[in-house]
Amino acid sequence: MAASSDSRLGPLVHRAVHHGATLWLVGALLLVVAMVVVQLGWSGPPAYSLKSNYISDLGNTGCGPWPSSTSARVCSPWHDLFNGAIIVLGVFVPFGAILCRTAFPKRRSSAVGLGLIAVAGIGAMLVGFSPENVNLTVHETGAGLAFVLGNLALLVLGFAMFRDTRWDGYRAYSLFSGLIGLIAVVLFETHTYLALGLGGMERLAVAPLLLWLLVTPIHLLRIPQYAPHALPHP
């Protein structure tokens, strides 16, 4: 009976995991949609550029030169939508990590990885609560937490997934995503933008984590759930 119970537990997840996965998916989708919509509402000239503008320019609450010492101009009338979406994501990520914790093996690496991704979510909240033109120090601190710890979390979670059949195919994906994201962060911070421009390199630093928060929840939602009290006792 014990062997049967163990084998049943292998490919399944607790119902709380589906709730956590939903939080991750909704939060990430909301931010992606908000970025597209707010960009469309940008007031030029110049037009918003994926290559030349920072992502955070979408949340800038002013309308004029930014930084003030340059001739560059930003004007994002729908900045509240962007800032609100990133705050919601920042709230959903830590709660999602708590709810999804049983989908990962009971290892220290799982706890560390989920802890890192939770702190990355808190960083996202700081970004939304402190737009770049309101408190740049807090804004950059939050962005740093989200960029660095978020991608590092993917690396750690990739290692945590080993020997867990529920994560077949996602171990290499998580490791590769975290590695690409961290390399992009280093290039961005050293002003090595290559042909992507500062905006493109910043997006490359964010994209792996944001995509992971879209793809991984879909995978978790497809895994059947179980209720522990309904399982037969050994």
Asked whether residue 7 is assigned to any structural domain, the reply reads no
Asked whether residue 1 is assigned to any structural domain, the reply reads no
Q: What averages of pLDDT result for each successive group of 10 residues across the chain (234 residues)?
A: 41 88 98 97 91 95 85 92 98 97 92 97 97 95 97 96 86 96 97 94 97 96 71 44
> Distance between alpha carbon 179 and the CA centroid of its chain, in Å?
15
Cα gap 46→186, rounded to integer Å: 28
Task: Give residue 136's pLDDT.
Answer: 94
What's the structural domain count of the chain?
A: 1
Asked whether residue 162 is assigned to any structural domain, the reply reads yes
Task: Give residue 5's pLDDT.
Answer: 40
Task: Give residue 6's pLDDT.
Answer: 41
Task: Give residue 121's pLDDT.
Answer: 97
Per the structure, the complete domain to which residue 212 belongs is given by: 12-227
The count of residues in the chain is 234
Sorted by sequence, the CB contacts under 8 Å of residue 127 that are 6+ apart come out as: 56, 59, 86, 90, 139, 142, 143, 146
Asked whether residue 232 is assigned to any structural domain, the reply reads no
Asked whether residue 234 is assigned to any structural domain, the reply reads no
Closest CA to 139 of 204, 209, 83: 83
In this prediction the pTM is 0.88
Asked whether residue 107 is assigned to any structural domain, the reply reads yes
Asked whether residue 3 is assigned to any structural domain, the reply reads no
3-state secondary structure of 13: strand
Task: Give residue 227's pLDDT.
Answer: 56
Asked whether residue 134 is assigned to any structural domain, the reply reads yes
